[in-house]
Amino acid sequence: MDIDVRNCGAEPVPPEGETQVVGNSTSKPVTLADVARLADVSVPTASRVLNGGVRGKGGNRELRERVEDAARVLGYSVSAAAQATKEGRARTIGLLVSDVEDFGAATIIAGILDAAEDRGLSVAVRATHDDAEREVELLTQFRGERHRAIILATSRTTNLERELAVKTQLEVLQRHGANIVLIGDSDHDYSRVTVNNHDAAAALADELAAAGNRRFAILAGPEEQITSRDRVAGFLAGLARHGIEVPEELIFHHGFDRDGGHLAVDILGDRLRDLDVIAAMSDGMAVGAIAALRRRGLETPRDIEVTGFDHVPMLGDVLPEFSTVGVPLHEFGESALKMAVDEPTPEIAKRRVAHKTSLIVRGVMIGVAA
Amino acid sequence: MDIDVRNCGAEPVPPEGETQVVGNSTSKPVTLADVARLADVSVPTASRVLNGGVRGKGGNRELRERVEDAARVLGYSVSAAAQATKEGRARTIGLLVSDVEDFGAATIIAGILDAAEDRGLSVAVRATHDDAEREVELLTQFRGERHRAIILATSRTTNLERELAVKTQLEVLQRHGANIVLIGDSDHDYSRVTVNNHDAAAALADELAAAGNRRFAILAGPEEQITSRDRVAGFLAGLARHGIEVPEELIFHHGFDRDGGHLAVDILGDRLRDLDVIAAMSDGMAVGAIAALRRRGLETPRDIEVTGFDHVPMLGDVLPEFSTVGVPLHEFGESALKMAVDEPTPEIAKRRVAHKTSLIVRGVMIGVAA
DNA sequence: GCAGTTCCGGACATCGATATCCATAATACG
DNA sequence: CGTATTATGGATATCGATGTCCGGAACTGC
């Protein structure tokens, strides 16, 4: 076992000729200097060897092995901080999300992490809780961390002041060499990963109307949020094709989460019996609405149909007849990271990756939309 | 607006006497040297001022303001990498989870991020996907990143070889000065944040048996996983109080997620009709089981009751009569971060924080358990 | 007004790693 | 065998920030 441990480089051996401090309760991390000393070479040489600079043919093959052995025996691992200091930028990505607990955000993060791991990058995650000031504050924190790229998975709004404040920060970060990628729709001019929320919502509305539904309420999410705006606009456009209109007072602008759904249903109250469909612009709101309906003795889809948007997979298991729009959130994350750090391929050069949505009607995937 | 932008320090102004490169397409980040030059002081002095070393009474008050103004005007932010190089450790936390998409993990992360933000710490998240080798690999990556603390929210097992490999890495990290905190049960001797899975499961079993249920199947999750082991043991102990036994062949060891639930139900097949309760040791498995049951025409809790563990809040909205055990995952995250970085309070000094679980029976919280 | 104390702020060294420069050794080739 | 070429590896400088040391100014008290 001792040998095994040594081989995996985890058990530092004191450099020869030095007496080790009592125990190894708190030894400092191994530095390149330690490796160089043990291998009896200069520090820059050790660096070159470990970075492949020394090709190691002929005689110096022995030197190469000496250094590599020393590094292995000591359990050396290069200090990311020192590298970052020297290079001027870290091998890290800064990621901003609204809320990690939100299922959609979690899936996006998972996609980013998977792609980041392949590239040996570390991801620093921060949550804004949809607070505009905090978002700016966190972006300034990113400035000091010298990230290679910044990915924003937070919701962009139509609030010009707020967006300008964010843009101001992003400009600085970009000037300092960080690539900026936004996930979701926005009016900004940065690289983007999106779906066509408008058309997907329209397709869903189309299906619902074609099935004979006529009286709709819409749970729209915050009024300023661009994603919400696009989805509502698309949904209304889809209904319009069938000559259906939704009165202003049946469009609710509350939170994008379960509470938003609860609230809207409670406000609807007795008007619920006049509705065929409550169309929520997120699965979270849909779940909240379903729970609130049930408290009033209404079952879905028996008494009233509730639809969502995003396609949280778990919901399909517990609500078999739930209609929603599938958004490839995991792919969002992967694409965002690729755009952020990969050499620009023809696709990435366009600085806009549009993914496809799928339409799920009463639990059945109908097809893939643009 | 111009003035505003300057005041928030986001618009770097070129140092006097230097001509700016065309545009500011890619200017380098502002360094302390830039600040010192503009303020006409030495670099160490600038550092002292910005770190509060200069009290600034009397005449040097002017100097203090000069430096602070310079920093503000240039939009200076200290390089975390350089600080980390100097200090030997970064103001960062390394976090390992099995899977970010898992609801429980996401909630834990949220708790950690909230507590980390209060302390100005950055959190680097990595996912193991429950792969033992990858876990070790990611821990070695953490070594180079000089994190102040490492938090493991991955599942610990009874596999000695695997645990030894992890322990070996953790020892090195700890020797290098990182605090180690584990979330969940384990046989390791590090700081821990836990609940009493055994007793909570026993309490749930107790309630179920008291309600007249007699014939149980258990979805146990991977056999090696300690959390799973403890929950099953507790559940069986709770049933034993009522003289109920569960035959070995009705305890299923598959994945801890929805697929694990699907699989077990499919294997049960015709034996389902002989059961009162399928007790899943995680909400994810429970959801999978519910979906699989429904495909066979069985409804829960009408035909057969399914219970879970963890208490994913969203489930309470869609499955009103679901029984489960509430685990305070957000608090797990907060406690873990506190243990990892705060000065040892009497509570933290014990290096073990035990949170309380709650018992939720058919959607109603019965009480708080030890 | 002088001695003694305090504080200040500049010069220098340092953290860990890498780019640059250069002298030297090894090789190739005529 | 001698010269031209190449590869090599050490010394030195550098990244950005901070700790140490010390001379000198300001201030205190008598």
A109: chain B residues, CB-CB within 8 Å: 100, 125
Give the C-alpha separation, B271 to B293, whole Å: 12
Note the pLDDT of residue B67: 86
How is residue B80 written in tokens? 């975390």
3-state secondary structure of B178: coil
Residues with CB under 7 A from strand D: A 41-45, 48, 54-60, 63, 82, 85-86, 88; B 28-29, 31-33, 43-44, 47, 50-51, 58-59, 76, 78-79, 82-83, 85-86
Residue B233 (CA) to nucleotide D7 (C1'), in angstroms, measures 67
Q: Which of A100, A106, A140 sits opposite B113 (nearest CB)?
A: A100
Please tell me the pTM assigned to this model.
0.90
Give the C-alpha separation, A142 to B10, whole Å: 13
Measured CA to C1', what is the nucleotide nearest A87?
Answer: D15
Q: Which nucleotides of C are covered by protein (CB under 7 A)?
A: 7-20, 26-27
In order of A40, A46, A52, A77, the CA distances from A66 in angstroms are 9, 10, 14, 16
Note the pLDDT of residue A5: 33
Note the pLDDT of residue B57: 55
> Is there a contact between A237 and A202 (Cβ–Cβ < 8 Å)?
yes
Give the C-alpha separation, B165 to B156, whole Å: 12
Q: Which nucleotides of D are covered by protein (CB under 7 A)?
A: 7-20, 26-27
> Higher-confidence residue: B217 or A351?
B217
Q: Which of A10, A117, A146 sits opposite B172 (nearest CB)?
A: A10
Residue B46 (CA) to nucleotide C10 (C1'), in angstroms, measures 11
B117: chain A residues, CB-CB within 8 Å: 126-127, 138
DSSP code at position B20: P
pLDDT digits (tens, 9 = 90+) for A319-342: 989 999 999 999 999 999 999 998
Give yes or no for CB of A27 within 7 Å of strand C: no
Question: Does residue A225 register a pLDDT over 60?
Answer: yes
Note the pLDDT of residue B11: 39
Q: In what order do the strands lie in the sheet with B277-280?
A: B251-252, B216-219, B277-280, B305-307
Residue B59 (CA) to nucleotide D28 (C1'), in angstroms, measures 17
Backbone phi, psi, residue B145, to 5°: -90, -5
In this prediction, residue A55 has a pLDDT band, given cuts at 50, 70 and 90, of: low
Note the pLDDT of residue B137: 95
Residue B33 (CA) to nucleotide C12 (C1'), in angstroms, measures 16
Of the candidates B214, B212, B233, B93, the one whose C-alpha atom is nearest the C-alpha of residue B150 is: B93
The three-state (H, E, C) secondary structure of chain A, written as one string: CHHHHHHCCCCCCCCCCCCCCCCCCCCCCCCHHHHHHHHCCCHHHHHHHHCCCCCCCHHHHHHHHHHHHHHHHHCCCCCHHHHHHHHCCCCEEEEEECCCCCHHHHHHHHHHHHHHHHCCCEEEEEECCCCHHHHHHHHHHHHHHCCCEEEECCCCECCHHHHHHHHHHHHHHHHCCCEEEEECCCCCCCEEEEECHHHHHHHHHHHHHHCCCCCEEEECCCCCEHHHHHHHHHHHHHHHCCCCCCCHHHEECCCCCHHHHHHHHHHHHHHHHHCCEEEECCHHHHHHHHHHHHHCCCCCCCCCEEECCECCHHHHHHCCCCEEEECCHHHHHHHHHHHHHCCCCHHHHCCEEEECEEEEECCEEEEEEC
Give the C-alpha separation, A203 to A220, whole Å: 17
B125: chain A residues, CB-CB within 8 Å: 109, 113, 123, 125
Note the pLDDT of residue B7: 34
Chain mean pLDDT for chain A: 88
User: Which of B11, B76, B266, B317 is the mutation pick for testing A, counting most A CBs within 10 A?
Assistant: B317
* Beta-carbon separation of A126 and B143 below 8 A: no
> Is there a contact between A194 and A328 (Cβ–Cβ < 8 Å)?
no
Helices (H), B176-322: 197-210, 226-240, 258-268, 283-295, 313-318
> Higher-confidence residue: A28 or B360?
B360
> Is there a contact between B368 and B357 (Cβ–Cβ < 8 Å)?
yes
pLDDT digits (tens, 9 = 90+) for B104-124: 999 999 999 999 999 999 999
Question: Does residue A310 register a pLDDT over 60?
Answer: yes
Residue A158 to chain B, least CA–CA distance (Å): 19
How is residue B90 written in tokens? 């970064």
Give the C-alpha separation, B367 to A97, whole Å: 34
CB pairs under 8 A between A and B: 203
Give the C-alpha separation, B12 to A286, whole Å: 46
Q: Chain B residue closest to A166 (CA)? A: B10
Residue A113 (CA) to nucleotide D28 (C1'), in angstroms, measures 62
CB count within 10 Å of CB A269 equals: 9
DSSP B291-343: HHHHHTT--TTTTSEEE-SB--HHHHHH-TT-BEEE--HHHHHHHHHHHHHS-
Q: Which of A12, A25, A77 sits opposite B140 (nearest CB)?
A: A77
* Beta-carbon separation of A125 and B117 below 8 A: no
In order of A83, A189, A226, A252, B214, the CA distances from A132 in angstroms are 33, 19, 15, 22, 54
pLDDT digits (tens, 9 = 90+) for A243-255: 999 999 999 999 9
CA A19 from centroid of its chain's CA atoms: 49
In order of A75, A81, B91, B151, the CA distances from B124 in angstroms are 22, 14, 11, 10
Residue B60 (CA) to nucleotide D28 (C1'), in angstroms, measures 18
* All domains in chain B, ordered by first residue: 20-77 (1.10.260.40), 90-194+330-355 (3.40.50.2300), 197-327+359-368 (3.40.50.2300)
Note the pLDDT of residue B43: 86
Question: Does residue A75 register a pLDDT over 80?
Answer: yes
Q: Which of A8, A110, A120 sits opposite B127 (nearest CB)?
A: A110
Of the candidates A97, A157, A130, A108, the one whose C-alpha atom is nearest the C-alpha of residue A310 is: A108
Question: Does residue B305 register a pLDDT over 50?
Answer: yes
Mean pLDDT computed over B181-207: 94
Note the pLDDT of residue B350: 75
Give the C-alpha separation, A116 to A123, whole Å: 7
Residue carrying the six token digits 């305070």: B328
Mean pLDDT computed over B331-354: 87
Backbone phi, psi, residue B157, to 5°: -125, 180
Note the pLDDT of residue A20: 38
pLDDT digits (tens, 9 = 90+) for B41-88: 888 888 888 887 666 555 567 778 888 888 898 989 999 999 999 999
3-state secondary structure of B358: strand
A121: chain B residues, CB-CB within 8 Å: none
Backbone phi, psi, residue B126, to 5°: -140, 145
* Sequence-distant (≥ 6) Cβ neighbours of residue B369 within 8 angstroms: B196, B199, B200, B203, B356, B357, B358, B359
Give the C-alpha separation, B107 to A4, whole Å: 37
Give the C-alpha separation, A324 to A280, whole Å: 9
Bridge partners of A123, per DSSP, are: A93
Give yes or no for CB of A42 within 7 Å of strand C: no
pLDDT digits (tens, 9 = 90+) for A31-46: 998 888 888 888 888 8
Mean pLDDT computed over A171-182: 93
> Is there a contact between B264 and B254 (Cβ–Cβ < 8 Å)?
yes
Residue A77 (CA) to nucleotide C28 (C1'), in angstroms, measures 39
Note the pLDDT of residue B15: 40
Q: Chain B residue closest to A28 (CA)? A: B176
The CA-based angle A331-B93-A132, given to 5 degrees, is 60
pLDDT digits (tens, 9 = 90+) for A263-301: 999 999 999 999 999 999 999 999 999 999 999 999 988
Give the C-alpha separation, B221 to B92, whole Å: 33
Task: Name, of A10-19, A25-34, A37-46, A72-81, the range with top average pLDDT.
Answer: A72-81
pLDDT digits (tens, 9 = 90+) for B281-292: 999 999 999 999
- A270 by Cβ neighbours in 10 Å (0-12 / 13-18 / 19+) ranks as exposed
* Beta-carbon separation of B10 and A84 below 8 A: no
> Higher-confidence residue: A62 or B217?
B217
Residue A241 to chain B, least CA–CA distance (Å): 32
* Beta-carbon separation of A316 and B291 below 8 A: yes
Range with the poorest average pLDDT among A67-81, B23-37, B191-205: B23-37
* Smallest CA–C1' distance to C15, residue: B86
How is residue B143 written in tokens? 């070594």
Residue A200 (CA) to nucleotide D27 (C1'), in angstroms, measures 76
CA A338 from centroid of its chain's CA atoms: 12
Question: Does residue A23 register a pLDDT over 50?
Answer: no
Chain mean pLDDT for chain B: 88
Of the candidates A332, A92, A96, A132, the one whose C-alpha atom is nearest the C-alpha of residue A224 is: A132
CA A174 from centroid of its chain's CA atoms: 19
Residue A174 (CA) to nucleotide C13 (C1'), in angstroms, measures 34
Residue A242 to chain B, least CA–CA distance (Å): 31
3-state secondary structure of B57: coil
Q: Which of A109, A120, A145 sits opposite B80 (nearest CB)?
A: A145
pLDDT digits (tens, 9 = 90+) for A112-140: 999 999 999 999 999 999 999 999 999 99
* Beta-carbon separation of A126 and B117 below 8 A: yes
User: Which of B30, B151, B167, B172 is the mutation pick for testing A, counting most A CBs within 10 A?
Assistant: B172
Give yes or no for CB of A82 within 7 Å of strand C: yes
Residue A251 to chain B, least CA–CA distance (Å): 22
pLDDT digits (tens, 9 = 90+) for B246-271: 999 999 999 999 999 999 999 999 99
In this prediction, residue B125 has a pLDDT band, given cuts at 50, 70 and 90, of: very high
B27: chain A residues, CB-CB within 8 Å: 175-176
In this prediction, residue B14 has a pLDDT band, given cuts at 50, 70 and 90, of: very low
Of the candidates A352, A351, A369, the one whose C-alpha atom is nearest the C-alpha of residue A361 is: A369
Give the C-alpha separation, A74 to B13, whole Å: 46
Q: Which of A80, A107, A138 sits opposite B144 (nearest CB)?
A: A80
